[in-house]
Every structure is written in C-alpha cells, then in structure tokens.
A = this chain, B = another copy of it.
Amino acid sequence: MTNATLTNGVDTATLFATLDAVKAAPAAAHFQFRASNEWLSGTHNRSTIDGFYGVGEERSHDRTFTFDADHPAVLVGKDHGPTPVEFVLHALAACLTAGLANIAAARGVTLTQVRSTVVGDIDLNGILGLDPDVRNGYQRIGVHFTVSGDASPEVLRGLVEQSQRRSAVFDVLTNGVPVTIDIDAV
C-alpha cells in the first residue's frame, strides 16, 4: 500500500477492490454482527463485542471491546456508563461519519475536519408508563455536521447527503427494523 492510494486515511484501492469482489460474489456481503450483554446491578450492565460473520466465514475483531451502560443518578442509576439511548446517538454519528470519509475518498475530496453533534429529545412519561400518548423512544433526533475540506461547500454538503442515503444506522433508525426477542427463564 502506498500513499498514492490513501485519501482521508481511506485505502481507496482496497475500497474499490472490495466493491469489485462483492460485485463478483454478492454472498460475501452477508454479515452478522453481535453483542453479548451481562446484567451487573440495577441499571448497570456491560456488553461485549468480539466475533462477527462476514465474507463467508467467522471472524473476530483485533481485540474484544466491552462497554458499560447505566443510568445517571437523576434516573435512579449509578452513572457507570452512558444511557443506552446515548449509545444510539453515538452509533448514528459514527455511521454517518465513516460513510462520509469513504465517499469523500472515492470522490477525491480531501477532508480536513468533520465534527458532528447529535441530539435526541425524549419524554420519559412514555417509558415510565405515565402517559399512554407518549412514545417510549426519542421523539426526534437532530444531527448537525461541520465539514471542511478541499472542495466547495456544495460538494462537501453532497458528501453528507450521500452518506445519509447509504447509512445503515440512519436507515434502521428512520425506517425501523424487525426485532424478535426470545427468552430462556431458568
């Protein structure tokens, strides 16, 4: 790999080769991601992220990642980690930003800075069961991007717009996804 193929830290030669490989063998694009969670105490629990399936075989990350989630004291927790709903905001920002960097590289745009803030408004009368007209989750999520690079504002805005059109997290959050839950009670 030479610097000639690196734009924004993206190895564009490998990126395009990956696209060609998936075009030739679409089944390679079937992935399964996983998280395992263990309850610790109260609202405090911990997820482990390690193995996944993709490109035809079982794989694992270079290291095992663990993340604690909890509620702050004002929501009767111990604040050992962010709330679950805050991780959703992180996931959305991360997905849009990763896509943006890839798209910029593919279009030959060198980025100098990308920052975003994601806010989610939620009325806890929903999850507390106090008002049947209030949903449990966020009522709205707003994302604000600031993007700088060696292209016109129109081109830079177009990178974010394309990233939105191709974002996995944006898709599941805006369109929903079927979730099934099964339970072993022992």
Query: What is A's interface to B at a CB cutoff of 8 Å?
Result: 8-11, 14-15, 18-19, 22-23, 26, 29-45, 47, 49, 52, 54-55, 59, 61-62, 65, 67, 69-72, 74-77, 79, 81-102, 105, 111, 113-131, 135-148, 152-154, 156-157, 160-161, 164, 166-186
Contact = CB atoms under 8 A, between A and B. Distances in A.
A179 B174 contact: yes
Given A114-B38, A136-B167, A138-B177, A84 B95 contact: yes
Contacts of A117: 34-37
A74 B99 contact: no
Contacts of A160: 181, 183
A6 to B, nearest CB: 9
A120 B170 contact: no
A35 to B, nearest CB: 4
A125 B55 CA distance: 12
B137 A175 contact: yes
Contacts of A34: 86, 89, 117-120
Contacts of A93: 35-37, 45, 47
Contacts of A185: 147-148, 152-154, 156-157
A94 B174 contact: no
Given A33-B122, A127-B167, A185-B153, A9 B42 contact: yes
A47 B94 contact: yes
Given A34-B120, A39-B100, A157-B183, 8 more contacts: A29-B124, A30-B123, A33-B85, A33-B120, A45-B98, A55-B74, A87-B94, A148-B185
Contacts of A181: 96, 142-145, 160, 164
A139 B70 CA distance: 28
Given A37-B115, A137-B169, A145 B182 contact: yes
